[in-house]
Amino acid sequence: MNPILKMTNISKYFGTFAANEGVDFDVMPGEIHALLGENGAGKSTLMNVLYGLYRPDGGEIWFDGQTRHFTSSRDAILSGIGMIHQHFMLVPVHNVLENIIMGMGKEKGFLIKEDQLEKEVLEIAARYGMEINPRAMVAELSVGEQQRVEIVKALFRGTKLLIMDEPTAVLTPQETEELFKTLRRMSDEGMSIILITHKLGEVMAVSNRVTVLRDGKVTNTVMTKDSSEYELTRFMIGRELSPACRDGRCCADKLVLELERVTCEGELGNHTLEDVSLSVCSGEILGIAGVDGNGQKELAEIIVGLRGVKSGRIFLSGEEIAGKSILEIIGKGVGYIPEDRHKRGLVLDFTIGENLILKDYSKKPFTKGGLFDFGQIYSHADEMIKKYSIKTSAAGRDSEARKLSGGNQQKIVVAREVDKGPKLLIAVQPTRGVDIGATEFIHKQILKAKENGTAVLLISTELSEINQLSDRIAVIYKGQIMGELAHEAFDESLIGLMMAGLTYEQAVKAPRGAGEAPVEGNRFADGHRTNQSNTLTPDQVSGDLPENPKEQVSP
């Protein structure tokens, strides 16, 4: 069989920096080809070249029978290449249909024939087993739904090769599995897919072949079935990983954080957190597992003071902190690695040095007599860059955070929040979109903080991350804590059921197959009214659940 895509000797420079250099890459029809590499290895750049967004400084692209010189994405689209970007390219104020048909005036006519187009869109979605509502506003869709819109958008353009840049970074495990099902279906129909991801498990699960990029160059291309996570890691980072792992010892000591029946209201007056009680001791990591959007962000934000509580009390080392200002809470030694580093954690236009003092800029030693002491600021920055191996551009501490790769941006946040040895560290999705090397590094920092006596609240949708680091695990669902278990009792399918809305007591009694529940969980994540019974059959699990299961169980 001939490849559908052949890229040979591709080079792309930014200034004098080689983001891609001499890259050879090909894809077979019907193949799911994974593209691996550390942050900044040049994966997105290569794909942008293929998609006509960047013009290569050298090399050739051969696609679907002929040599191509794409000068714009339009050229790429017209010849059958589709791309789903890491950050979705959807217009929030347009409806789904408009987002799908935009830019297709030439093909679909000057006048927008809504009804007919809607029918076409629904047909395509149905063919690949996706559900979408063409009239919904994109702003109102969940991330998973938005991704479906992106896929339909690509399919609608007659895509033969679909590029997906880190499609799973923002998806829940359930949504991920749904996506993979769709991808397999597409590949069965003969479509080719290029998949960029940092998660080796996904690569092993779904791809046929893997290409690994490093520093802008291809290190290896292998058949997935002939390789292993271990080998791919070596190709990627040139060494073995020593995954950070809690040493099994819990040095839990004094109570640091305590939430007492905290309830919190969203913009619409709904309860985003309800009656949450939990506690974390110094030297302990409490992992909060849960499907994204179940109140994790709110939980973190009420503790650090970014959001007010409606009722309930929050204690830090015995002192009530609910209602205190963010500044006061920071002052009490609370570190916070936020979910979205671009939005919250960094000021992208500030330099690394400036970002590193984001929470201490007005304190000694950085400020003296109302003026900055730049000597101190610089030496602090240099120290952190060294200590946390932050890879900067030539400008060093003076390079803007915007210009760093995602993993290195995250390292700035981690350095800032962890280095001071906070009393409490709240880490939300600390490794989202971060490569495996950096992930390992960040995990180690979190564990080190714990060993130094920090109480850590780790909030993540990645069960593997929770499992790897936590001493105790609590599961959150619709703003409620469904139950808590010790690390020793970690059981992925049990937690999966709890993530889907069962209390611990219900979940242990529910029959389950390993690894299956979290996947299916998505379907009942919405929750349905149910009959009241303590033992749930599989049918009931997938279809009917108590709306508020917690109340069903007498304590």
Scan residues 307-326 and list those touching other proteins (CB under 8 A): 325-326
Which of residues 305 and 501 has its CB atom nearest to other proteins in the complex? 305
Which of residues 18 and 255 has its CB atom nearest to other proteins in the complex? 18
- The residue assigned the tokens 């029946």 is 261
Contact status: 85 vs other proteins (CB under 8 A): yes
Task: Draw the binding track, 88-127, toward other proteins (x: CB under 8 A; -: no contact).
Answer: -xxxxxx---x--xxxxx--xxxxx---------------
Least gap, CB of 161 to other proteins (angstroms):
15
Which of residues 204 and 347 has its CB atom nearest to other proteins in the complex? 347
- Calculated CA dihedral for residues 173, 538, 554, 480, nearest 10 degrees: 20
Instruction: Report helix, strand or coil for 196.
Output: strand
* Distance separating alpha carbons of residues 344 and 347, to the nearest angstrom: 8
121 binds, among Mg ion, other proteins, ligand ATP, none (CB under 5 to 8 A by kind): none
306 binds, among ligand ATP, Mg ion, other proteins, none (CB under 5 to 8 A by kind): other proteins
Which residue's C-beta sits nearest to ligand ATP?
406
Choose, by CB under 8 A, the member of 448, 452, 533, 543 that binds other proteins: 448
111 binds, among other proteins, ligand ATP, Mg ion, none (CB under 5 to 8 A by kind): other proteins
Contact status: 234 vs other proteins (CB under 8 A): no
Instruction: Report helix, strand or coil for 392.
Output: coil
Which of residues 90 and 502 has its CB atom nearest to other proteins in the complex? 90
* Distance separating alpha carbons of residues 112 and 115, to the nearest angstrom: 9
Which of residues 40 and 496 has its CB atom nearest to ligand ATP in the complex? 40
Which of residues 98 and 435 has its CB atom nearest to ligand ATP in the complex? 435
Contact status: 14 vs ligand ATP (CB under 6 A): yes
Choose, by CB under 8 A, the member of 4, 10, 12, 21 that binds other proteins: 21
Which of residues 146 and 207 has its CB atom nearest to other proteins in the complex? 146
Least gap, CB of 166 to other proteins (angstroms):
15
Which of residues 75 and 491 has its CB atom nearest to other proteins in the complex? 75
Residue 128 backbone dihedrals phi, psi, to 5 degrees: -105, 15
**163 exposed, middle or buried (CB, 10 Å; 0-12, 13-18, 19+)?**
buried
Residue 195 backbone dihedrals phi, psi, to 5 degrees: -120, 120
Scan residues 369-408 and list those touching ligand ATP (CB under 6 A): 403-406
404 binds, among ligand ATP, Mg ion, other proteins, none (CB under 5 to 8 A by kind): ligand ATP
Scan residues 464-483 and list those touching ligand ATP (CB under 6 A): none
122 binds, among Mg ion, ligand ATP, other proteins, none (CB under 5 to 8 A by kind): none
What is the amino acid identity at position 526? D
* Distance separating alpha carbons of residues 144 and 293, to the nearest angstrom: 11
Scan residues 18-47 and list those touching ligand ATP (CB under 6 A): 19, 37, 39-45
Which of residues 20 and 467 has its CB atom nearest to ligand ATP in the complex? 20
Which residue's C-beta sits nearest to Mg ion?
44
User: Residue 541, Cα to own-chain centre: how many angstroms?
Assistant: 27
361 binds, among other proteins, ligand ATP, Mg ion, none (CB under 5 to 8 A by kind): other proteins
- Residues with Cβ within 8 Å of 267's Cβ and at least 6 positions away in sequence, in order, are none
Which of residues 78 and 204 has its CB atom nearest to other proteins in the complex? 78
Q: Which span (120-128, 174-182, 356-364, 502-510) binds other proteins, by CB under 8 A?
A: 356-364
Number of residues that bind other proteins (CB under 8 A): 86
Contact status: 268 vs other proteins (CB under 8 A): no
What Rg value do the Cα atoms of the chain yield, rounded? 24
* Distance separating alpha carbons of residues 270 and 497, to the nearest angstrom: 24
- The residue assigned the tokens 């957190």 is 273
Write out the H or E segment, with its range, that includes residue 95: none
Task: Draw the binding track, 417-436, toward ligand ATP (x: CB under 6 A; -: no contact).
Answer: ----------------x-x-
Scan residues 202-231 and list those touching other proteins (CB under 8 A): 214-217
Residues that bind Mg ion (CB under 5 A): 44, 406, 433
- C-beta of residue 85 within 8 angstroms of C-beta of residue 47: no
Choose, by CB under 8 A, the member of 67, 248, 371, 511 that binds other proteins: 371
- C-beta of residue 356 within 8 angstroms of C-beta of residue 404: no
- C-beta of residue 301 within 8 angstroms of C-beta of residue 308: no
**345 exposed, middle or buried (CB, 10 Å; 0-12, 13-18, 19+)?**
buried
Choose, by CB under 8 A, the member of 223, 395, 486, 489 that binds other proteins: 395
Sheet containing strand 285-289, edge to edge, reads: 334-337, 424-428, 455-460, 285-289, 472-477, 480-486
> Which residues make beta-bridge pairs with 273?
264
> Number of C-alpha atoms within 13 angstroms, CB side, residue 413?
31
Contact status: 437 vs ligand ATP (CB under 6 A): no
Instruction: Report helix, strand or coil for 322.
Output: coil
Q: What is the DSSP string of 337-377?
A: E-S-IIIII--TTSBHHHHHTTTTTTSTTTEETTEE-HHHH
* Distance separating alpha carbons of residues 355 and 271, to the nearest angstrom: 34
Residue 78 backbone dihedrals phi, psi, to 5 degrees: -65, -30
Which of residues 44 and 172 has its CB atom nearest to Mg ion in the complex? 44
What angle (nearest 5°) sits at the alpha carbon of residue 369, between those of residues 363 and 370?
70
Task: Draw the binding track, 485-514, toward other proteins (x: CB under 8 A; -: no contact).
Answer: ------------------------------
Q: What is the DSSP letter of 53?
A: S
Task: Draw the binding track, 117-136, toward ligand ATP (x: CB under 6 A; -: no contact).
Answer: --------------------
List residues binding ligand ATP (CB under 6 A). 14, 17, 19, 37, 39-45, 86, 403-406, 433, 435
